[in-house]
Structures are given as structure tokens and as C-alpha cells.
């Protein structure tokens, strides 16, 4: 399997995401993945499954040097003392002496980034973590971490898939040789019904999910961590790595044009026009009470992103005024994709 090398670690480009897996189900899924050849497992304090992941690793008898394990600190533990306690708690649950990549899972409003990175680098020097990463960081936060603090960031883990254009963040990370860890690379299972993906997959004799994964894996500096509980799905994701996409059927991002005059104040007409092609609910009553779940969930995603912005920047103007933010306030990242969201927000 191909690897990405960054900040002294070598990471398999395809890993197993474990968000929403719990207990015996999680342990069985990780054990299956390791038997199939996965050597990259992604978990987090917030997932509540580090003990199950650790049990699966122990049962596998795979040499520790041959495994990459990522875990993450939740936003409630982003003080120097709290994050060190969180690291030790994660190591105990995983049954490991170290993790390969430790990440800040979600920005917090009052976090002291210089102090946090000082703590993480000290813990790294002590051998409890091998590399440091961040998740869901806006461009402003990335600039602070990379250019002002000069933190040794190994990855930025963000949602990235064919329905979500991350060009601004990708361009910045590429300039600084920081790879992307793409969570939700299959848009939480919504890609199977996309007509253009289905057409391309048919011409390649494969599935829409495999086409979408290979589209990501064909990009430099991108690793993917699709959640896959069933063994057959895990194998299908592995098989995607061997797929060769015919340039004749080149895939381009299917990002719905949600921005109107630089804001997220999308009209009802645009919501109707850009809704998922298979949507049967054509009567969208309003932006805040749409009969189409896909539209309602994408609006909730925008609200969730604003919460993340407020936590990170301490900016309460949106709460006071009710004004929708312009794109630049969120780092220029297009976050309003009109896709079916079974869960809004905190994957990855």
C-alpha cells in the first residue's frame, strides 16, 4: 500500500475510520480490517471506542511498528494540563505506549495554541506521540499554527469528497507540504446514487464509492479514512486503490453553487435547483423548514460551522445579529454542500 511521509512518520494512504462504531461491533470491524491488510486505524477520544480499537490491535498480534494509529483530543481538553491527561487516558484505553499521530480534534474558543503546541511537542519528545496533527482548522487557524507558531503539523484532517471542494485549504496545505487526511470521503454513503458517479462507475466495471475514493487517492498529498464496518465494504475500499480511472471519464467535483454574492444566504430557487437529482421532495417550504431532508441537513451544517468558527475565534457577532457569514469569515472554505447528511458535524 502507498504511504505518505510527513514529519517523520509514514502513513498508509487508506485507513479505517471508526466514528460511530462502539464496543464489540467496533472491535470486530477493526479485527477484520487488520486481517484484510489495513495498517492505518483512526479513532478519537470523542468516539468512545479507543478500548475496542486497542483490544482489536492486541488480538491481531501485528508488530506495533507495522501499524499507524491516530487518536484525537476533544475540544473540552484543549488546555496544556488537560490535553496531557487526555493523551495518557487514550494510551491506557488503547493499550499502547505511543500513538503515531495525535490531533486536536476540534478548535475551542479559548484555546491557547502556542501553549498547546508546546505541550504536544514536549510529549512528542518524550515518545508518547510520534507526530502532531489538527482537524477542522480554518485557513486562519492554519496560518496561526504554521506561520506564527511554526508548529510541526503532520496532517490537517478535514471532510473532503467529490461533493465538497476544498481547493483553498488544499492549496495552502500544499504550499507548506502538509497533507490532508480526508474524513467522510464517501459523503457518509450518499454517493452511491449520484448519476454521474454511477455512469463513470459503470464504464469502469466498479462502484460509485470506489470511483470517489480513487478520485481522492489520485491526488497528491491526500490520505482517506472511510468508515467501513462490514468486511465486504472494507475489501471494496482496498480494491479501489487498484482502480485506474480512464481520463476520458475524468471526474470533476460536483459542488453545488451555494454561494450567492459571497454569502450563505441561498435562495429557495437555488435550493430547489441544486438539490440532489434523486430527491423526491420538491416542495421546499423555506430555508429553515424545508421538506427535503438534504436541504435541511445542509443548513444545519452551516449552523454547525458557525459554532466552530465562534469557538475558534471568539466571535459572537453572528449570534447577536443573526447575519449569515461571508465566505472569508470561514477561511474561504465552501461548506454548504447540498447532500444528504445522516449526521451533521463532528465526523473525523
Per-residue confidence (pLDDT) for residue 269, from 0 to 100:
39
Per-residue confidence (pLDDT) for residue 203, from 0 to 100:
85
> Rounded to an integer, what distance in angstroms lies between the CA atom of residue 81 and that of residue 130?
19
Domains of the chain: which residue ranges? 3-249, 256-348
C-alpha cell at 36: 484484510
At the top level of CATH, which class does the domain 3-249 belong to? alpha beta
Give the Å distances, CA to CA, from 116 to 123, 134, 304.
11, 11, 24
Q: Flag whether pLDDT at 245 surpasses 80.
A: yes
Q: Contact at 8 Å (CB) between 231 and 36? A: yes
At 208-236, the pLDDT tens digits run 899 999 999 999 999 999 999 999 999 99
Which value, in Å, is the radius of gyration of the alpha carbons in the chain?
A: 20
Sheet holding 68-73, edge to edge: 16-17, 40-42, 68-73, 101-104, 132-135, 153-159, 180-183, 222-224
C-alpha cell at 84: 496531557
pTM (two decimals): 0.74
> Rounded to an integer, what distance in angstroms lies between the CA atom of residue 219 and that of residue 88?
35
- Please confirm, yes or no, whether 47 is among the known catalytic residues: yes
CB-count burial class (<10 Å; 0-12, 13-18, 19+) for 52? buried
- What is the rounded average pLDDT of the residues 279-284? 41
* Between 91 and 344, residue with greater pLDDT: 91
- What is the rounded average pLDDT of the residues 42-67? 97
Q: Flag whether pLDDT at 59 surpasses 90.
A: yes
Of the listed 47, 102, 160, 264, which one is catalytic?
A: 47
At 261-271, the pLDDT tens digits run 223 333 333 44
Per-residue confidence (pLDDT) for residue 249, from 0 to 100:
58
Q: Contact at 8 Å (CB) between 42 and 29? A: no
At 283-335, the pLDDT tens digits run 433 333 333 444 445 444 444 444 444 444 544 444 444 443 333 333 333 33
- CA 73 to mean position of chain CA atoms: 15
Amino acid at each position: 500500500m502507498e504511504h505518505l511521509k510527513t514529519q517523520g512518520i509514514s502513513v498508509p494512504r487508506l485507513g479505517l475510520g471508526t466514528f460511530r462504531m462502539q464496543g464489540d461491533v467496533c472491535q470486530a470491524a477493526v479485527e477484520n480490517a487488520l486481517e484484510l491488510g489495513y495498517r492505518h486505524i483512526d479513532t478519537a477520544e470523542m468516539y468512545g471506542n479507543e478500548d475496542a480499537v486497542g483490544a482489536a490491535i492486541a488480538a491481531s498480534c501485528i508488530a506495533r511498528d507495522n501499524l499507524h494509529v491516530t487518536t484525537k483530543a476533544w475540544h473540552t481538553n484543549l488546555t496544556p494540563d488537560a490535553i496531557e491527561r487526555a493523551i495518557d487516558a487514550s494510551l491506557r484505553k488503547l493499550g499502547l505506549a505511543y500513538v503515531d499521530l495525535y490531533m486536536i480534534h476540534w478548535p475551542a474558543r479559548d484555546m491557547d495554541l502556542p501553549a498547546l503546541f508546546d505541550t504536544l511537542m514536549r510529549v512528542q519528545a518524550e515518545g508518547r506521540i510520534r507526530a502532531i496533527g489538527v482537524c477542522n482548522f480554518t485557513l486562519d487557524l492554519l496560518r496561526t499554527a504554521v506561520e506564527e507558531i511554526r508548529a510541526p503539523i503532520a496532517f490537517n484532517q478535514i471532510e473532503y469528497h467529490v461533493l465538497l471542494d476544498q481547493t483553498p485549504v488544499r492549496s495552502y496545505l500544499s504550499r507548506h507540504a502538509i497533507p490532508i487526511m480526508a474524513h467522510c470521503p464517501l459523503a457518509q454513503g450518499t454517493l452511491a446514487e449520484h448519476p454521474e458517479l454511477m455512469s463513470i462507475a459503470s464504464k469502469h466495471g466498479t462502484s460509485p464509492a470506489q470511483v470517489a475514493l480513487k478520485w481522492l487517492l489520485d491526488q497528491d498529498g491526500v490520505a482517506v479514512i472511510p468508515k467501513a464496518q462490514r468486511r465486504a465494504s472494507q475489501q471494496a475500499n482496498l480494491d479501489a486503490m487498484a482502480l485506474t480511472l480512464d481520463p476520458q471519464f475524468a471526474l470533476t467535483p460536483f459542488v453545488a453553487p451555494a454561494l450567492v454574492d459571497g454569502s450563505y444566504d441561498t435562495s429557495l430557487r437555488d435550493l430547489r435547483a441544486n438539490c440532489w437529482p434523486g430527491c423526491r421532495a420538491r416542495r421546499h417550504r423555506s430555508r429553515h423548514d424545508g421538506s427535503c431532508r438534504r436541504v435541511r441537513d445542509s443548513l444545519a451544517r452551516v449552523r454547525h460551522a458557525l459554532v466552530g468558527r465562534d469557538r475558534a475565534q471568539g466571535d459572537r457577532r453572528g449570534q447577536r445579529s443573526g447575519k449569515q457569514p461571508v465566505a472569508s469569515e470561514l477561511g474561504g472554505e465552501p461548506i454548504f454542500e447540498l447532500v444528504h447528511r445522516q449526521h451533521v458535524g463532528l465526523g473525523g
